[in-house]
Amino acid sequence: MRASPAAAAAPEVQAEARAAAVQRGLQVHAPLHRASALRAAQSLRAIVRTQAQRLLRPDRLFGRAFENIILTLIIVSVASVILEEVHGLPEWAKRALHIEEIVVVCVFSFEYLLRLVAAEKIKAFVFSFQGVVDLIAIAPFYLAGVDARAVRALRLLRLLRVLKLQTHILENTVAARTRELADKNAALEQAQAQLKAELDIARALQIAILPATFPVKPGCDGAARMIPATTMGGDFYDFIELPDGRIGLVMADVSGKGVPAAFFMAVARTNLRDLAPQYLEPGACLAQTNAMLCAQNPMELFVTVFYCVFDTSTGTLRYANGGHNPPYVRRADGSVEALTGAGGLALGVMPGVNYPDHTVQLLPGDRLVLYTDGVTEAFNSADEPYGVERLLAEVKAHGDGGATALIERICRSVTVFADAAPQSDDITLTVLTWGAP
């Protein structure tokens, strides 16, 4: 700012000029801008209110100290009401009680005014329970000058200060409990979020260990899919490369849900996979896997397993069943047959179970469909199961289409059927078409 000759004048002159300007401004603004003056007054009131609220806050030092003083004075004044009625009280005692009364009323009046100012809505405070109680606590003093008998009566009203005590204690307790609850809730939510995150990782790992693609073998069009349920389950499929152009196909379902089932699934899969190259007869492989699982099964789980060894050069399929739903073969002419035959007990129940082997011959164009009961026992909201018929209908309708496309088709069909009902069990499918031209 360029210094003007006027600004270079003496400081006292400057101050005077400024004050006059302010006054002028107020005088100029008041009649023309009543609204802004009102706003100014309102914001002034807001500032004062905020300050009063801050003083009363129980989490601040002043607020707590003030509260304790009030509580002490309440007790003191109630005690004094009783003491006053004692006959033959010495003069000094009477005077002390009188002084105490004055002090108490002053402090209570100050508190009342403070609360009045701090209140968001003044009328609401005045007519609230606390407002009425606080007013009654100090009213007797101010009305003392009216009538001697009335004064005595009104003095007894001071006992109502006990009510004041109650509202204080109640307030404090409620505030403390609310804080406690809020803290506990926050801790719980955090723990839950952490648990969910870990379960999500576990489920991702569980899915990741399933083979993503079918081994490349001449004449084989194979695919598989596992759609996990809402709660972690224990379904799994597997493809195991074996010597001389053979593949081992596994379809399995672990009992139970959650972390134990997922764990057992991993153990069962690994055991079977390790034993398969050594025990090429499916029945023997299941028997050995069963022995291994029974040797260490602290959670007493079991797993139903269908295991077959498929010779990709001849089309011969050797299979054994440990309590699992029999798979289906759709022949090239469209007929469908189940791979039945005596099976053994689910694996993990007891050692020494026998799993008989069976053989079936696949011809070029035949298709093998393996599945778990998450498909056939998928329920809709009317509590109807998807069932085997619907599954086979999809298989038949698919005709000579590709394996992946059939899996997609079946999964879509199950999802549409189940509609809004939540998926309670893993849905697992494997399809193998052999000797496609």
Is 327 an interacting residue with respect to other proteins (CB under 8 A)? no
Binding other proteins (rule: CB under 8 A), the pick from 322, 362, 370, 403 is: 322
Is 413 an interacting residue with respect to other proteins (CB under 8 A)? no
Q: Which residues pair with 246 in a beta bridge?
A: 242, 311
Is 428 an interacting residue with respect to other proteins (CB under 8 A)? no
Tokens 């020494």 appear where?
A: 352
> What minimum distance in Å lies between the beta carbon of 278 and other proteins?
24
Using the minimum distance from each CB to other proteins, give the nearer residue, 65 or 393. Answer: 393
> What minimum distance in Å lies between the beta carbon of 326 and other proteins?
8
> What minimum distance in Å lies between the beta carbon of 388 and other proteins?
6
State the Cα–Cα distance between residues 115 and 250, nearest whole angstrom. Answer: 77
363 to 402, contacts with other proteins by CB under 8 A?
Answer: 384-385, 387-389, 392
Binding other proteins (rule: CB under 8 A), the pick from 164, 324, 367, 398 is: 324
> What minimum distance in Å lies between the beta carbon of 411 and other proteins?
19
> What minimum distance in Å lies between the beta carbon of 378 and other proteins?
11
Is 260 an interacting residue with respect to other proteins (CB under 8 A)? no
Is 338 an interacting residue with respect to other proteins (CB under 8 A)? yes
Is the separation of the CB atoms in 308 and 319 below 8 Å?
Answer: yes
Part in contact with other proteins (CB under 8 A); list of ranges 218-226, 300-308, 405-413, 415-423? 300-308
State residue 247 phi and psi, 5-degree precision: -125, 140
State the Cα–Cα distance between residues 248 and 311, nearest whole angstrom. Answer: 9
Q: Would you give the binding string for other proteins spanning residues 229-258, x where CB under 8 A is met?
A: --------------------------x---
Binding other proteins (rule: CB under 8 A), the pick from 151, 345, 421, 436 is: 345
State the Cα–Cα distance between residues 205 and 43, nearest whole angstrom. Answer: 61
Binding other proteins (rule: CB under 8 A), the pick from 119, 336, 360, 421 is: 336
- For 109-121, letters b (16+ CB in 10 Å) and e give bebbebbebbbee
Q: How many residues bind other proteins (CB under 8 A)?
A: 28
> What minimum distance in Å lies between the beta carbon of 317 and other proteins?
16
Binding other proteins (rule: CB under 8 A), the pick from 206, 271, 289, 304 is: 304
163 to 222, contacts with other proteins by CB under 8 A?
Answer: none
Binding other proteins (rule: CB under 8 A), the pick from 128, 167, 270, 354 is: 354
> What minimum distance in Å lies between the beta carbon of 297 and other proteins?
11
Is 298 an interacting residue with respect to other proteins (CB under 8 A)? no
Is 228 an interacting residue with respect to other proteins (CB under 8 A)? no
Is the separation of the CB atoms in 141 and 151 below 8 Å?
Answer: no
State the Cα–Cα distance between residues 111 and 69, nearest whole angstrom. Answer: 11
State residue 318 phi and psi, 5-degree precision: -105, 135
Binding other proteins (rule: CB under 8 A), the pick from 224, 353, 403, 427 is: 353
Is 340 an interacting residue with respect to other proteins (CB under 8 A)? yes
> What minimum distance in Å lies between the beta carbon of 335 and other proteins?
6
State residue 239 phi and psi, 5-degree precision: -120, 125
Using the minimum distance from each CB to other proteins, give the nearer residue, 59 or 389. Answer: 389
Residues that bind other proteins (CB under 8 A): 255, 300, 302, 304, 322-324, 335-338, 340, 343-346, 349-354, 384-385, 387-389, 392
